[in-house]
């Protein structure tokens, strides 16, 4: 069913929780997984270093269970970069964490990346609370 999964990353607890779900999906469907970190081009070089460190940490988590992953770091607005990249690699699922704040009606104007991805994605999105 799913053969190409995109896993956008940040340093949230929800991303850490989503790792277990991504591992299960990759193993169940024998899918390829690409981990993506998006950095703001206006931010300092330390953001790139932080993104590289995060990618290495996540790559290590997957390697511990015998899964090799592709990785990518992009610059841009997170939701748009995620959706554009998902389209570019023909992802058939995006698995990502969410703090969940804008998924409730009380916060309709929030800048939630996960909410924007849900609205813009070219494929299904699994949001892990």
Q: What's the CATH number where 87 sits?
A: 3.40.50.620
- Residue-level pLDDT at 123: 98
Neighbours of 33 (CB within 10 A): 23
Assign 48 a pLDDT band (cuts: 50, 70, 90).
confident
Q: How far apart are CA 78 and CA 74, in angstroms?
A: 9
Q: What is the mean pLDDT of residues 93-105?
A: 68
Residue 34 burial (10 A CB sphere; 0-12, 13-18, 19+): middle
Q: What sections of the chain are H helices per DSSP?
A: 13-29, 45-63, 78-88, 113-120
* The model's pTM: 0.89
Three-class DSSP category at 67? coil
Q: How far apart are CA 46 and CA 51, in angstroms?
A: 9
The residues, ordered by sequence, that sit 6+ positions from 67 with a Cβ below 8 Å of its Cβ are 23, 26, 27, 33
What's the domain count of the chain?
A: 1
Residue matched to tokens 């290590």: 60
Domain of 49, in residue numbers: 4-128
Q: What is the mean pLDDT of residues 53-80?
A: 95
């Amino acid at each position: 069913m799913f053969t190409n999964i995109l896993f956008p990353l940040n340093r949230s607890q929800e991303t850490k929780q989503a790792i277990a779900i991504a591992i299960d999906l990759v193993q169940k469907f024998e899918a390829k997984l690409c981990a993506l970190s998006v950095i703001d081009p206006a931010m300092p070089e330390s953001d790139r270093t932080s993104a590289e460190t995060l990618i290495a940490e996540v790559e290590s988590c997957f390697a511990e269970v015998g899964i090799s992953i592709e990785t990518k770091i992009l610059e841009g607005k997170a939701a748009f970069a995620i959706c554009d990249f998902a389209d570019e690699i023909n992802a058939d699922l995006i698995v990502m964490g969410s703090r969940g704040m804008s998924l409730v009606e009380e916060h309709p104007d929030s800048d939630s990346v996960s909410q924007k991805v849900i609205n813009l994605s070219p494929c299904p999105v699994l949001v892990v609370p």
